[in-house]
C-alpha cells in the first residue's frame, strides 16, 4: 500500500505569506501527487491547513485540494481554527468530545488521527478527554497501529520548536507505551523539516511544509523561530507486512533527470 504524507500547507485567504503564495504551492503539490502517485490509497495532511484559521483560507484550501484524485484525511494543527474547520469540512469525523479525532481500517492495520490543538497557545495539548479516546482505541485494536498527529511528543533539538511541542508528552507516552510493539510508525507535522528517528521504540517521521520551513538551528534561541525557503516537499509512504518506508519527495526540484 502507498499513501502520501502532506503537512503544514498554511493556506491564506488571498495574497502571499512571507512573500510566497501557499495556495500556489499546494496546487503544485496536488498536481505532482496526481501525476506521479495516482496509485496512492489516500493523502494524510497532518495539520496547519491554514495559517490564520479564517473562513476565506479554508475556502481557498478546499478549492485547491478538491483536485486530488484520491481520498483525503485531515487533522488540525495549532494554526487552524476548529470551528471554521468544521464549517468547511463537516464530514470529517470527531470523537465524542468534539475533538477532530478518528480512526480507519486498512489492510495493514488501524490508522489513528489525533487532535493535539490547544486553543490557548501554539504548543500542543492532549487533555484527559482525548486521552480517554486514544486509550479506548488502542485497547480495542488488536492488530498494527499507525499514528498521525500535528505536534511531536518529543524534542527535536530545535529549541524554538521544542518550546511548543506537545505539552502532555509523558501522559501521551503512558497511553501508547503498552502498545509499542504494535505501533508501526508515527507521522507528525509542525516542525517544517524532514526529520526521521525513533522515540522510545517508536519510529517517526516529519515532512517539510509547503510555504516556508523552519531553519535547522540546533543551537538557536528558544524565543524566536528562524525560517527559510528550503523547497517544499511531501512524503511518499509504502507499507507491507514487514516494512514501512518513507520517501522524502522534493517535488518542486527542476533539475534534469538522467541515467547513471
pLDDT score, position 218: 96
Q: Rounded to the nearest 10 degrees, what angle do helices 128-140 and 169-176 cross at?
A: 20
pLDDT score, position 188: 98
Ranges of residues in the chain whose predicted pLDDT is under 50: none
Neighbours of 113 (CB within 10 A): 24
pLDDT score, position 236: 98
Strands 213-214, 227-228: pairing kind: antiparallel
Residues near 254 by Cβ (< 8 Å), separated by ≥ 6?
none
Strand-pairing partners, residue 145, are: 110, 183
Neighbours of 136 (CB within 10 A): 12
Residues near 142 by Cβ (< 8 Å), separated by ≥ 6?
none
pLDDT score, position 168: 96
Domains assigned to the chain: 2-249 (3.60.21.10)
pTM to 2 decimal places: 0.97
Going 14 to 19 to 22 to 24, the CA torsion angle's sign is positive
* Percent of the chain with pLDDT strictly greater than 90: 100
Q: Tell me the pLDDT tens digit for each residue of 171-201.
A: 999 999 999 999 999 999 999 999 999 999 9
pLDDT score, position 65: 98
Instruction: Kindly state the cell numbers that stand for 6.
Output: 502532506
Give the chain's radius of gyration (CA, Å): 17
pLDDT score, position 70: 98
48 phi-psi bin (left φ>0, alpha ψ -120 to 50, beta other) = left
Q: Tell me the pLDDT tens digit for each residue of 33-52.
A: 999 999 999 999 999 999 99
Residue 178 Cα distances to 40, 113, 135, 172, angstroms = 31, 19, 10, 11
Amino acid at each position: 500500500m502507498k499513501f502520501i504524507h502532506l503537512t503544514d500547507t498554511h493556506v491564506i485567504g488571498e495574497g502571499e505569506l512571507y512573500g510566497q503564495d501557499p495556495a500556489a504551492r499546494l496546487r503544485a503539490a496536488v498536481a505532482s501527487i496526481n501525476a506521479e502517485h495516482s496509485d496512492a490509497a489516500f493523502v494524510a495532511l497532518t495539520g496547519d491547513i491554514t495559517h490564520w484559521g479564517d473562513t476565506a483560507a479554508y475556502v481557498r484550501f478546499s478549492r485547491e485540494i478538491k483536485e486530488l484524485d484520491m481520498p483525503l484525511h485531515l487533522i488540525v494543527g495549532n494554526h487552524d481554527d476548529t470551528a471554521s474547520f468544521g464549517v468547511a469540512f463537516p464530514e470529517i469525523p470527531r470523537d465524542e468530545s468534539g475533538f477532530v479525532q478518528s480512526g480507519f481500517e486498512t489492510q495493514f492495520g488501524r490508522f489513528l488521527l489525533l487532535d493535539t490543538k490547544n486553543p490557548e497557545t501554539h504548543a500542543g495539548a492532549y487533555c484527559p478527554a482525548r486521552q480517554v479516546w486514544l486509550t479506548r482505541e488502542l485497547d480495542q485494536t488488536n492488530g498494527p497501529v499507525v499514528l498521525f498527529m500535528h505536534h511531536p511528543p518529543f524534542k527535536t533539538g530545535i529549541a524554538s520548536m521544542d518550546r511548543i511541542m506537545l505539552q502532555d508528552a509523558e501522559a501521551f507516552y503512558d497511553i501508547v507505551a503498552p502498545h509499542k510493539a504494535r505501533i508501526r510508525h508515527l507521522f507528525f507535522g509542525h516542525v517544517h523539516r524532514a526529520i526521521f528517528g525513533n522515540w522510545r521504540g517508536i519510529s517517526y517521521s516529519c515532512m517539510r511544509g509547503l510555504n516556508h520551513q523552519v531553519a535547522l538551528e540546533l543551537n538557536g534561541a528558544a524565543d524566536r523561530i528562524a525560517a527559510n525557503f528550503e523547497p517544499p516537499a511531501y512524503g511518499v509512504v509504502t507499507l507491507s507486512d514487514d516494512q514501512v518506508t518513507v520517501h522524502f519527495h522534493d517535488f518542486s526540484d527542476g533539475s534534469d533527470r538522467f541515467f547513471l
